[in-house]
Amino acid sequence: MDVAESPDLQAQLAAAVHALNHASHPSARLAANQWLLGLQRSPQAWALAASLLACADHPAPSADLLFFAAQMLRRKIQSPDYPLPDNAAQLLDALLVAARRFCLAPPRLLTQICLALAALALRAEGGVDGLFARMPHLPDPALLELLTVLPEEVAQDESGDTGVDSATRCRFTRELLTHAPAVLEFLLAQSEKPAAADGVPLHERNHRILRCLLSWVRAGCFSGAPASALAAHPLLTFAFNSLQAFFSFEVAIEVMTELVSQYQELPQAFLSKMPYIREVLLLPALANRSEKIIAGLTSLMCHDGQALFVSASIGFKSPVNSLHWESTLPLKYTWTCFRQLH
């Protein structure tokens, strides 16, 4: 019998995970943690974790056990201490099956599965193209989460000793960006879907779309796009309109701020929206003393004004004379907020 299919080992794992999460005595939690760390270091952990995520038994494994299995795979893939198994392609397929199966499960489980997929794509030969070739088979919620964490994998990898060199990270980013047009098309289609078309509430889906867009903006998905085309891109309109929704406000602010910071020509095009921001968003927020909205809008305005100032300075012009009067609007609004709050 394969070790991954051993009822005894699976039962031991289930008992240890339960003790780690629910045991009342610290010594029991410590012993469970030590046993689980030993299991994670073992070669059997690959097949055991994959088999749990693929398990079709009824009742299904507990949510804690499934989460641990996905987390264990992610940690083994990301660690330089554990070489990838020879059947990395089979592991990729097993994780994709799990992503399909748990696309509407608690978000933390789907996120761990997608993080494992992203880590595998970074490290396996042909991982990015192989992953994108299989993506059409994923349900939209799983695909959206996977596309969100993929660009973030490079930043996460740089934060620790994961055995991945800078050349590999650069290659991974380049390969990702070759798929950026298709990703943006997918996000645009998602933004136009009717409410609850995939079982996800509209406000939650919009928040996920913006999170995904932010990841790809940070990766440089609009690099090389003309300023006029970028300013008129329907996803920017979607992000701007999302400023009016309290649930998605913060991530929409992040998207707009990132774009303004990255692309020198965008702040000037963005000025035309300042009166709307002031009248429709900022002044009501000031009247209601909504600190989250006030802080987000003033941060966006400051970034816009700063970008305009830097752009003018780079052009070897006097910043005072070269900036149109409207360019001072972000700073004027920021000062207005400060005076009214204090």
Give the C-alpha separation, 148 to 280, whole Å: 30
Per-residue pLDDT of 71-95, as tens digits, reads: 999 999 998 888 888 888 889 999 9
Is residue 310 predicted with pLDDT exceeding 80?
Answer: no
Burial letters 156-172, b for 16+ CB under 10 A, else e = ebeeeebebeeeebeeb
Does the pLDDT at position 19 exceed 80? yes
List the single range of 19-33, 152-166, 232-246 with lowest mean pLDDT.
152-166
Confidence of residue 329 (pLDDT cuts 50, 70, 90): very low
What local confidence, expressed as pLDDT, does residue 197 receive?
66
pLDDT bracket for residue 161 (50, 70, 90): low
CB 48 within 8 A of CB 9: yes
Give residue 325's pLDDT. 36
pLDDT band at 6 (very low <50, low <70, confident <90, very high): low
Residue 327 has pLDDT above 50, yes or no: no
Say yes or no to pLDDT of 239 above 50: yes
Region label for 316, one of left (φ > 0), alpha (ψ between -120 and 50) or beta (otherwise): left
* pLDDT at 328 (0 to 100): 46
Mean pLDDT of 96-113: 93
**How would residue 54 be classed by pLDDT, with cut points 50, 70 and 90?**
confident
3-state secondary structure the chain: CCHHHCHHHHHHHHHHHHHHHHCCCHHHHHHHHHHHHHHHHCCHHHHHHHHHHHCCCCCCCCHHHHHHHHHHHHHHHHCCCCCCCCCHHHHHHHHHHHHHHCCCCCHHHHHHHHHHHHHHHHHCCCHHHHHHHHHHHCCHHHHHHHHHHHHHHHHHHHCCCCCCCHHHHHHHHHHHHHCHHHHHHHHHHHHCCCCCCCCCCHHHHHHHHHHHHHHHHHHCCCCCCCHHHHHCCHHHHHHHHHHHCHHHHHHHHHHHHHHHHHCCCHHHHHHHHHHHHHHHHHHHHHHHCCHHHHHHHHHHHHHHHHHHHHHHHHCCCCHHHHCCHHHHHHHHHHHHHHHHHC
For residue 257, what are the CA distances in angstroms to 27, 57, 191, 268? Answer: 48, 47, 20, 14
Per-residue model confidence (pLDDT) at position 226: 80
pLDDT tier at 158, thresholds 50, 70, 90? low
**Mean pLDDT within 293-309:** 75
Residue 125 pLDDT > 90: no
